[in-house]
Amino acid sequence: MAKLILSVDGQVLKEHTLSKERTLIGRKPHNDIQIDNLAVSGEHAAIITILNDSFIEDLGSTNGTLVNGKPVKKHFLQNNDVIEIGKHKLKYFNDAPSQAGAADFEKTMIIRSPAKAAPPPVAAPAAPAASDPAASISRTIPPTPEVRAAAPPPVQPTAPQDHAPLPDAAIQVLSGAAAGRTLDLTKNLTTIGKPGLQVAVITKRPNGYFITHVEGGTFPSLNGTSLGATAHPLGDHDMIEIAGVKMEFFFKP
Amino acid sequence: MNISQALQSASLTDPGRVRDHNEDCIESRPEIGLYVLADGMGGYNAGEVASGMATSLIADGVVEGWVPREVDRLSREEAMALADKLLREQIARANTAVFTTSQNNPECAGMGTTLVVCVFYDNFVCVGHIGDSRLYRLRADTLEQVTRDHSLLQEQLDSGLITPEEAKLSQNRNLVTKALGIDPEVEPELHVHETVEGDLYLLCSDGLNDMVDDEEIRLTLVTLRSNPSLSVQQLVQAANDNGGRDNVSAMLVSVTEPFGVPRGWFARFKALFR
């Protein structure tokens, strides 16, 4: 569950877990997070929490609310955001994906209308005000223990940035009317050839460049060998022949 | 006009790079222009039970109720109404079957599935969906999302609580507000759209559109327009290259020529003798 750490001048005052749908911040005692300072309005800001997402909303305060140094009216909070109210700072922590049960994190789940939903496992917080945008949102059905037990262990997906950055590459046309022209391979997909006659696509993937036949009765050739229907990795100075035109693939220095 | 000649299709489903089994399920009946995709959810392997039951029950049920020889005798409006009625009936039947199975088998408790189903006929497509499986349409070079997710995120977008940019950062992206087989009854969303020659229709599970943004989907469909099977391979590969955190399924239907049903007196006369 997401939390806020309240501090002033680098001194931590308290930690607050965002367990309610609506958390009030202000100077008066009825606020969930009370900051007793004259720079803070009586009801200064509210944090609306919907499952794993939280939003901060300034409630028309006199001195305003800053997030990461910028004044906000409404803001969708992200992990490590810093909220400033007067001289007080509230740091937002939301590490839901890395917490236990992360295996369930991206499993599709159903949330149902309150009428049909099973009673929530914890006592429901007081009904929010009718104007609250979260009021119409029902609660998620908690995954059953069986689901958790059966869920596969969390595997860290390989993000594209795990790979060494792919060098830029280009194609130089060696024969035909366009001989001498080079074509930079900047897009993820680049088609070469003549539409209707013979077309191939060069795909830029995290692990390299690949060439695949797209259309035409005969296959293009790579270094003199017919491509066939499958994708082939491209190496520096590979020779491609397509629709009667020769071209060379190369990595840019 | 034979519909299977007018529509060229390709499909692919893949467990992705993180999950060890595939809870997505796809079925098609090209001879009547029917395409079904479902993304199951629930404990153990029940998700694939739900999606498998839903796709096969709906595909078989629609085939039974949609006899081209008889449908060709209807007016266009009557055919649209029949498609709508038939899909509603078959979705309700599949819902009851999945729900009853989950009630009677503890290992299937709580299972359910999202669904997107298309019936193509006489230059229209009747689309039904439940949950966050989607139908996209590429017309000319413009990609449009035809279905609107039944999800918490979509509700937040609709109410203006978050912007589309913020939605990409949301941690609530996996929560659907509707699913087949969860409750005794389900209300699917159904619409009829006119088709145009050259249209591409993409049915997909959230494993595709969560990992590959709409612009990249568009670029792939435009670039590889002439080769649907390479398009779906490329889309699934892109989802896996970007992390492949969920099962990925894509079904692509390309409208290569119009498939209007002739309705002159002679066509009707001929239909009598078929």
Task: State how far the Cα of B105 lies from the Cα of B89, in Å rounded to an integer.
Answer: 24
Q: Which of residues 116-135 of B touch A (CB under 8 A)?
A: 131-132
- ipTM of model: 0.81
Task: State how far the Cα of B259 lies from the Cα of B87, in Å rounded to an integer.
Answer: 20
Q: What is the pLDDT of residue A106?
A: 57
* pLDDT 10s digits, A83-137: 999 999 999 998 765 443 444 445 777 776 554 444 444 433 433 333 333 333 3
User: Distances from the Cα of B160 to the Cαs of A51, A112, A242, B267, in angstroms?
Assistant: 17, 21, 51, 52
Please give the model's pTM, rounded to 2 decimal places: 0.79
Q: Chain B partners of A150 at a C-beta cutoff of 8 Å? A: 43-44
Task: Quote the minimal CA–CA distance from A186 to chain B in Å.
Answer: 13
Task: State how far the Cα of B236 lies from the Cα of B241, in Å rounded to an integer.
Answer: 9
Q: Is A57 on the interface with B (CB under 8 A)?
A: no
- The average confidence (pLDDT) of chain B is 93
Q: Is A162 on the interface with B (CB under 8 A)?
A: no
Average pLDDT over residues A206-222: 91
**pLDDT category of residue B136 using cuts at 50, 70 and 90:** very high
10 Å Cβ neighbour count for A113?
11
∠ CA A219-A225-A228, rounded to 5°: 35
* pLDDT 10s digits, A126-185: 333 333 333 333 333 333 333 333 334 444 444 444 556 788 999 999 998 888 999 999
* pLDDT 10s digits, B4-61: 899 999 999 999 999 888 999 999 999 999 999 999 998 667 999 999 999 999 999 9
Q: Which residue has the higher pLDDT, B14 or B160?
A: B14
CB-closest option in A55, A105, A191 to B223: A191
